[in-house]
Structure 1
Amino acid sequence: MTAAAVRDPAITARLLRRAVIASTAVAASLILVKTVAYIATDSVSLLSSLIDSLLDLAASLVNMLAVRHALTPADDEHRFGHGKAEPLAGLAQAGFIAGSAVLLFVEAARRLAAPEPVTNTGVGVAVMVFSILASLALVTYQRHVVRRTGSVAIGADSLHYQSDLLLNGAVIVSLLASRWLTLPWLDPLFGIAIGAFILWSALQIVRLSTTQLMDRELPDAEREQIRAIALAHPDVRDVHDLKTRAAGPQAFVQIHIELDGDMTLRRAHAIADAVEAAIRHEFPHAEVIIHQDPAGLERHGLG
């Protein structure tokens, strides 16, 4: 979750649902046109793009289920909510993407052993230009959603479609090179290069997902903002033991505030409520837990 991802929960839910619907629709459309183009061209590099779109559709469907689950309110069995469904979906996406890279390597190796000429390159180029435009529109919208929601699942999907932009561009280069240079082995070589790039994007998605699954702290800027909010209350002498983590669209914040040791419990409780409200105003999706300590006590903590 980022500082820019301050938002209303209802708006977040609506943006996430729209993003997964858009991703699914784009993937289905690209599968249709790329299938026609592959049949017409018999190009390995275009096959790589088709396989990638098939995996895009599978990943989008997984995202749809994950986002729906992540937005489910906390219940008796999941008191911290269901936000980790999103990074789990990211890992599933990485598995899909890595699998597509392996399939592509196998087909490219077969074509290298027995090169075949690429035909009807004009159809292939036209389809890939359409794919680039559709992917660019989707990525632009996904980036908007990620800025507003901090969603890991949509972020992983966006990263994949960003790699698709380069992939589709490489396919165009491969088709044109195969046509102009009459070198049939160029097409499978491009396929292998594209497969390596797809595998790299899978590793990036794994990194993003494991960050949340391992309960990594929120960015330093957000932690400093939380400290500043707590210290802005005139009765808070100091803060310590700030612990944060994110799970999908939700953040969790635990912090100790130091107060005058002689004040009443009722007053300390009121101050903690005020600090909590101030933090939640800036981080609406955060669950905040505040512990009150007398100022000046020796303490041992992580930050």
Structure 2
Amino acid sequence: MARATPEQYESWIKLATRASIAVATLLIITKLMAWLMSGSASLLGSLTDSLMDAAASLINFYALRVALRPADDHHRWGHGKAEPLATLVQAGFILGSALLLLFAGTERLISPVPPSATGWGVGVSIFAIVATLALLTIQKKAVAATGSTAIAADALHYRSDLLMNVAVIIALIMAAYGFWWVDGAAAVGIAFYIGFGAWGLGKEAVNLLLDREADAEVQQQVQALILADDNVLGLHDFRTRMAGNTLFVQMHIDLDSNLSLLKAHDIAHAVEDRIQSQFPGADVIVHQDPHTVEA
């Protein structure tokens, strides 16, 4: 699929973040009501996850708008790193909520309490599944169009929320038949799931903040575009990195030492154009090195 233009990227980002906040707010209200009526630990876990989803969505909403800002006098490389920075903050919030939920679930396992108003809990969980599926459809299209890591991380939260709601339904039904321990066990399981997810998100964010190379597939595509011109005799010191939606590329190309400065400049400019045609908004720096062509 062709990469989104900066305008398309901004449009999808705004749609996905607004939809995420709307769904998170709706789920918090409904789950809070159901938890107050049922007292279910697993439902509390699902509510906790929704609270973290809402916090993450708000962080994304602000951070991605910062990332969309063009470069200025104080940020000459743009604001793209606001995106992985937001992801790192999200990971910290989620890990903290996982620890709190682990303690709550363990306490419920030690001292099980039968949940009440099971029907409310099951009904709210089914509603949450339907709302989350609708949001994930929007997020899937947004990630496919933009490749945004922050939206992908947000979508991971909501995919886990689907599993959590299924676990809540099972726990509530089992508790109604006397298997009260299932409620606490589900809360502990959810805590571990959230914790491992937070670790993965944090690791990815750190890699992006440390300017990890772009994906191997992207590197291969860029190199093929550079070498598509027979005048480019070689390529070295090739480097890439991602900052938000912006791909940064630097390289040295070998050109015939007999070429005029104007011709060498035109070839380098053509390299930039080919890369930017496939990766809109890419920041490309080309250094030309003379190469002696043997007769």
TM norm structure 2: 0.96
Match of 2:68 in 1: 71
Structure 1 distance, partners of 2:17, 2:244, is 15
Match of 1:36 among 13, 33, 36: 33
Alignment of 1:219 with 2:215, yes or no, is yes
- Amino acid aligned to 2:246: Q
Identity %: 47
Other-structure match for 2:129: 132
2:239 is aligned to 243
1:8 aligns with 2:5: yes
Q: Name the counterpart of 1:20.
A: 17
Shift in Å, 1:120: 1.5
What residue is the counterpart of 1:283 in the other structure? 279
Alignment of 1:106-145 (within 5 A): 106-145=103-142
CA contact (8 A) 1:5 1:147 kept: no
Residue number in structure 1 paired with 2:249: 253
Instruction: Compute the displacement of 1:296 (Å).
Output: 5.0
Indicate the larger mover: 167-176 or 21-30: 167-176
Cα distance in 2 for partners of 1:5, 1:45 equals 42
Unmatched 5+ residue regions in structure 2?
Answer: none
- TM-score by length of structure 1 reads 0.93
> Which residue does the alignment assign to 1:186?
182
Counterpart Cα distance in 2 of 1:235 and 1:286: 22
Conservation of the 8 A alpha-carbon contact between 2:252 and 2:286: yes
Structure 2 CA distance for aligned equivalents of residues 187 and 70 of structure 1 = 41
Change (3 A) 1:38 1:5: farther
The one-letter amino acid of 1:224's match is Q
Say if 1:130 and 1:281 are closer, same or farther in 2 by CA, change over 3 A. Answer: same
Residue 94 of structure 2 corresponds to which residue in structure 1? 97
Aligned partner of 1:222: which letter? V
CA distance, structure 2, for counterparts of residue 280 and residue 32 of structure 1:
45
SS of the counterpart of 1:83?
coil
Counterparts of 1:48 and 1:189 in 2: how far apart (Å)? 11
- Matched AA of 1:148: A
Deviations 1:224-282 (A, max 9, x none): 11111111113211212210000111110011111110111111111111110011000
In 2, Cα distance between equivalents of 1:293 and 1:44: 66
Name the CA shift for 1:222/1:33 in 2 (closer, same or farther; >3 Å): same
**Contact 1:44/1:188 (8 A) holds in 2:** yes
- 2:57 is aligned to 60
Count of residue pairs brought into register by the alignment: 293
CA RMSD across the alignment = 1.3
Gaps (5+ residues) in structure 1? 298-303
Deviations 1:194-251 (A, max 9, x none): 1111111111211221221121111122111111111111321121221000011111
- Map 1:157-168 to 2 at 5 A: 157-168=154-165
Q: Do 2:122 and 2:169's aligned partners in 1 also have CA atoms closer than 8 Å?
A: yes
